[in-house]
Structure 1
Amino acid sequence: MELMEKTVERHVLFEGAIVTLRRDKAQLINGQVVSREVVEHPGGVAILPLYRDGTVSIVRQFRYPFRQVVTELPAGKLERGEDHRPAALRELEEEVGVRAGELIYLGYLYTSPGFSTEVLHMYLARDLEPGVCHPDDDEFLECERIPFDQLVEQVVSGVICDAKTVALVLKAKAYLGR
């Protein structure tokens, strides 16, 4: 059996600065036609900046959809068509104020494959040197350094529940454990 759905109709409902929302009609394997809502997103990057002393930079920022401050790793949205590696370097300096001598690609993930096209690329940054912190004009965040082991514990215990941070911390832990 080929697990495939054929798009038979596309209708753009909304085009915003970050996302486009579509309602498609898709034909299933059995011939039935169903609605599919799709959020088109240009993708993003997340970076785990690991210092020589074993600490990691985390950021805290207010996340409007949840109406609360969320603790997460530095991250950012890709511009349409932008390569993810330079974007990771840019976001690292913008949010944390450091430059990476070594940037290790740890793969990507689909953030919400049931409805979104967003692909998030994950990096481990090492050999960090001071740069210039310059967040975007609409970006307000607090940066803090904590021990990597403490960050792992916060992820495992559920204190940190940001998906990109959870995935990247566990990937980095596995990579560093090799």
Structure 2
Amino acid sequence: MKKFEEKTIQSELKYKGRIITLLVDEVLLPNGKKGNREIIKHPGAVAVIAITEDRKIILVEQYRKALERSIVEIPAGKIEPNERPEITALRELEEETGYTTETLQYIQSFATSPGFADEIIHLYLAENIVKLEEKADLDEDEFVELMHVTLQEMDTMITNKEVYDAKTAFAYHWLKDYLKQN
């Protein structure tokens, strides 16, 4: 048994969309009482820390409707059905940045919002990146602006809340340590 486990009594599908599914689960709590949990099911995603030869970090700025603003992020995207995360990472790197690499290194996976969602992001490092001769197409509803920044510039962007998402903040802290050691 898992510590503080909540056993599902029943699960009700409330919404099934293109990206997420919303369930409301009735659960048996550790104290014997019942409760409800609203759960977002997500196929998972990848994120890529892409570093140029001159040690610049490639970021993308895009509008995030949920926040009603543009933010700056590392390239990222949803895993397609039956797609391995490393394939998604390479695809997203190519689509969002116009770069590719032969040296994609897995860093870590983590939950984004475990209080209500099962989304896991798989983080990769792409070094030795090369510009594609022909940029891959973005999704038809995706609009991004490419940026090449130093670690110090990224630090300022975090302070100014231009970088405002957890995956990019996590990537920044990981990268800061990585660049010190390499």
Pair in the same fold by TM > 0.5: yes
User: Residues 24-39 of structure 1: matches in 2 within 5 Å?
Assistant: 24-39=25-40
Identity within the alignment, %: 35
Name the residue aligned to 1:48. Answer: 49
Corresponding position of 2:81: 80
**Aligned position for 2:154:** 151
- For residue 173 of structure 1, the aligned residue among 166, 169, 176 is 176
2:160 and 2:141 map into 1 onto residues whose CA distance is: 31
1:5 aligns with 2:6: yes
Counterpart amino acid of residue 73 in structure 1:
I
Q: Secondary structure at the match of 1:47?
A: strand
Aligned to 2:141: 138
**What's 2:95 paired with?**
94
After TM superposition, give the deviation of residue 26 of structure 1 in Å.
0.7
Question: Runs of 5+ in structure 2 lacking a partner?
Answer: none
- Shift of the alpha carbon at 1:71? 0.8
Is contact 1:106–1:171 with CA below 8 Å preserved after alignment?
no
Deviation at 1:156, TM superposition (A): 5.4
Where do 1:14-33 residues align within 5 Å?
A: 14-33=15-34
Deviation, 1:159, is 4.1
Which has the larger strand fraction? 1
Q: How many correspondences in the alignment?
A: 178
- State the 4+ residue runs in structure 1 displaced beyond 3 angstroms: 156-159
1:110-129 alpha-carbon deviations (Å, 9 max, x no partner):
00000001000111110011
Give the CA deviation at 1:133.
3.8
Inter-partner Cα distance in structure 2 for 1:159 and 1:62: 11
Q: TM-score, normalised by structure 1?
A: 0.93
How far did residue 28 of structure 1 move?
Answer: 1.1
Name the amino acid aligned to 1:82: E
2:71·2:162 contact (CA, 8 Å) conserved in 1?
no
Look up the SS of the partner of 1:66 in the other structure. coil
TM-score, length-scaled by structure 2: 0.92
Between the aligned partners of 1:98 and 1:51, the Cα distance in structure 2 is: 10
Q: Which runs of 5+ in 1 are unaligned?
A: none
Work out the CA distance in 1 between the residues paired with 2:145 and 2:162.
17
> Is 1:46–1:88's contact at 8 Å kept on the other side of the alignment?
yes
Q: Which residue of 1 aligns with 2:58?
A: 57
Residues 116-148 of structure 1: per-residue CA shift (max 9 Å, x gap): 010001111100111124211111111111113
Aligned mates of 2:111, 2:89 — CA distance in 1 = 17
